[in-house]
Amino acid sequence: MTLPAFIFGFLISTLIGAAFHLILGGGAGRLLLYLILGWTGFWIGHYVANLISFRFAAVGPMNLGLAVVGSLLFLGVGYWLSLVQVDQN
């Protein structure tokens, strides 16, 4: 992985997390959560695509297709898990 590809992936995953926050709203804590989930899902998706030699929407050495899918999957599951409210009786 080259440095420009890493920076490109970091920017794309940051934009995905920020867009998710823009759509769903929330405070600074939610923004940080969405950014971390976006970064984690993006790089895990890219790694899995490399592991199984799957090329979809590749941009240079970056497997952008599966990386974006991984990012959105992590964001969706993280959002769903963050909706849990504790009953304090």
Q: What is the pTM of this model?
A: 0.84
Block means of pLDDT (10 residues each) for the chain, 89 residues, are 88 94 89 93 93 84 90 93 81
Q: Which residues touch 45 (CB under 8 Å, ≥6 apart)?
A: 63, 66, 67, 68, 69, 70, 71, 73
Phi-psi region of 25 (alpha: psi -120 to 50; beta: other; left: phi over 0): left
pLDDT for residue 60: 80
pLDDT for residue 54: 80
pLDDT for residue 25: 84
pLDDT for residue 26: 82
